Structure formats: C-alpha cells, structure tokens
Structure 1
Amino acid sequence: MEEARIFLIVYFAALFGVLPPGLVNMTVAKTCIERGKKNGMLVAIGASIVILIQAFVAVLLAKYIFDHPFVQRVMLRAALVIFIILGVYFFIQAKNKKGAPSHSKKKNKNSLYKGMLIAALNIFPIPYFCAIAGGFNVGVGVSYNWFKIIAFAAAASLGSFTSLYLYVLSFIKIENKAEKFAKYSNYFMAGLMLILVIVTIFRIYNS
C-alpha cells in the first residue's frame, strides 16, 4: 500500500532528521533539566503539533516552491533574521542566568505554547519535507491524493515526536546535574544559533 510505504519512510526521515542537536530538541532537553520531565514532554507535544502543520503545508506548497527558487531564498532570509534574534536572546539569557528556575503551574501551562512557538520559528522543516514530498510526488501533481498527504503529515509529526521523546528520556537521566546544565545551556543555544546563521548564509549564497 502506497500510503503505508510513505508513512514508514517519512516517519524515519523525520525521526533521524530531528535527532542531531537543533533548536527544537535542545529546547526540549533544556526544559527537561530546568522544569522537569512533564514540561519537556509538553514542549515536545507542542512542537510536534506545529511540525504536523508544517509538513501539511510543505506538501501543499511543494510544487510551488520547487518551481519558484525566489520563495526558497525568501524563506532562508527569514530564517536568518530569526536565528540572529534568537542567538542574541540566548546570549543575554546566559549572562543573566542565576541557576535553574523553580517549577510552577504557570510554567507547566506555558510549556506547550513554548514548544509550538519554538517549532514555528524553526522553518527548516518546510523545505526539508518539501524535498521529501517531491521525491514521492506527494502534492506535486495536478490533483492531490489526500490519503497520501495525511499519511505524510502524520508520519512527519510522529517521527519528530519520537525523536524528541528520546531527548526527554536521555536528559532526564542527568537530572542531578540540572544546575550545571542550566548554567551553560543558554551559551550552547547561542552557539547553535551562530552555527545556524552561518549555515543559512551559506545556503542563501548557494541557492
């Protein structure tokens, strides 16, 4: 069955695509250490919801994006601005860091929205899933096969969540080192943003 094949391949593509340290998974790990496993899970769930939407949009826009390189360049420039702003933010947070914050019900409630916001700021999944959709001819034909599109988006979301959940399980094991991790995590995130800025600039000049 074509839908099942698409689901499995996209699932593992999303899972392995999120495994390398990045904005979303490191936010999940950082939240686990600072606010506990429950909040880390909520961030992962929030991010997965947005990734579901991003994958769905990527499929619908696949043909348009492939036919219009200008759109790719605009998306990369938008990503560059976002990563610069986030890099400055995390560096300032690192300078002001005074240890791991305490847990609170308000923070628990906001973790889901935090995951959604971080995932929304990370626009790289859209061209990534567009490329995969193009390989499967999902969303690039004259008419849309909605069963394939739903299978594609669901697999992208579930695969990403599986990878993020692995981060929750891994980082919760070093909870006793939470204070040290909290102290340096913002520096790491700022450094990660710098790397993403460099990668994005490279992609802009080579697109």
Structure 2
Amino acid sequence: MTHLLILFFVTFSAAFMATVPPGLLNMNAAKTSVEKSKNNGIIFSLGVSTMIMMQAYIAVLISKYLFNNPEVIDLLMKIALGIFAFFAIYFFVMAKKIKPNKIRIVKMSKKNSFFKGMLLAALNLLTIPYYSGLNVMWNASGWIKFQIWDIATFILAAGSGTFTVLYLYTFYFNKLELKTKNFSKNSNYVLSVLMVLLLIITVIRLFYRDHG
C-alpha cells in the first residue's frame, strides 16, 4: 500500500507540474469558463483528463512491453535518457520564450466541450513519451510493478494531476492572469531542472548496469 501512495504522489506531482505552464489546454479551460460557464470549463477539463489517462495507459503498455524483454532494457533506459534530455531543453527554451498573449484559443460549443477537450489533449504528441519516460524511472525505483493496482494508480494520478491544474485555471484564472508570465516561466524552469535530475539518475543507473 505504501508504494501505491508514493506512486500516486510522484505521478500526480509530475502531471501537475507538466500542466501548470499556460498552454493550449489550460488556457482553453479558462476561456471556456469565462465565455460559457464554470461548469462547461469543468466538462472540458474532464475531457482533457480522460484523454490524458488513456495516453498514460498507452505509455504503460509501451514501457511494460519493452521491460518484459530483457534484451531491450538498456535500450529502454537510453530512450528514457533521450526523452528527459529533450524535455529538459524543451522546458528551458519555453521558459525563455514565454508569450502568454499569443496562446491559441479554440472556439467551442457547450454541447461538445467534453469531446473538444479529448481532441485537444490527443493533439499533444508529447504526452505519451513523457509518461513513458516517467514510467521507466518509477519502475527502476520500485514504485510501479506493472500490476493492475499499480497501473490503475499511475493512470488515475496522471488524470487527477492534470484535472487539478485545469480546475484551478477554470476557477481562478482571473486572479492568476496578472502573474501568468512569471508563473509560467518559473514553472518551466522547475520542470527543466526536474528533467535534468531524472536524466542524471538515468545515466547513473545505466553506468551501474554496464559495470555491475
């Protein structure tokens, strides 16, 4: 049970931090709340979170398949290394080029809010490699064992972390709007540092695998 609590916390935190910087999804959640209603914003957020959980499950399946083939474990670790290096650079560059006023807003009808949320979340091609990389690290740390409760906890935490941020944007965007630029920049720097730490841990694990 303890490892499930740890798994939920670290995955929730990773999902939360990845969703905090203003982007297509959270800004559309805020826009929907302002122009339609807060309930409509919540429906949109649920659509996004549902798709995130589906993508997290796909990420688990990919990681599980590769991990169950011993000959590709090193390849899996190297893939994770590449993923973390990419995201470290990506978030750092995003922090340097924050332009919140230029974020694209998609027009939505109340009836289709849920499915629009799912569609926009599906367009984010970085979600699956992000959660695949996290899955590799959590498995190496012993936090996930590819059992049904572990997988369910990982997926639920990914969806919950995402929904929590979208919920905050839906209800408190007006209060956060004046601080959006600094808020976004600092969040991206934190994510960049996190990715560097995960990259270093992965390098260390690869070194011990090669010399163990």
**TM-score, with normalisation over the residues of structure 2?**
0.58
Q: Which residue of 1 aligns with 2:199?
A: none
1:118 pairs with 2:113: no
1:173, 1:36 → 2: CA distance? 17
1:170, 1:123 → 2: CA distance? 27
AA aligned to 2:29 is V
Q: Which residue of 1 aligns with 2:198?
A: none
Aligned length: 144
Unpaired segments ≥5 residues, structure 1: 77-90, 95-100, 175-207
2:139, 2:21 → 1: CA distance? 27
Distance 1:173 1:35, change over 3 A: farther
1:75-122 per-position Cα deviation (integer Å, ceiling 9, x unaligned):
x9xxxxxxxxxxxxxx9x98xxxxxx8xxxx92221111101111111
1:153 pairs with 2:155: yes
Aligned-residue Cα RMSD (Å) equals 3.3
Unpaired segments ≥5 residues, structure 2: 67-74, 87-101, 177-212
The equivalences for 1:11-160 within 5 A come to 11-62=12-63, 67=76, 107-137=109-139, 144-160=146-162
**TM-score, with normalisation over the residues of structure 1?**
0.60
1:64, 1:26 → 2: CA distance? 35
1:129-179 per-position Cα deviation (integer Å, ceiling 9, x unaligned):
1111111118x9xx83121111000000001100110100122669xxxxx
Task: Indicate conservation of the 8 Å contact 1:46/1:116, yes or no.
Answer: yes
Q: How much identity, in percent, do the aligned residues show?
A: 38
1:14, 1:173 → 2: CA distance? 22
1:163-207 per-position Cα deviation (integer Å, ceiling 9, x unaligned):
110100122669xxxxxxxxxxxxxxxxxxxxxxxxxxxxxxxxx
How far apart are 1:41 and its partner, in Å? 1.0
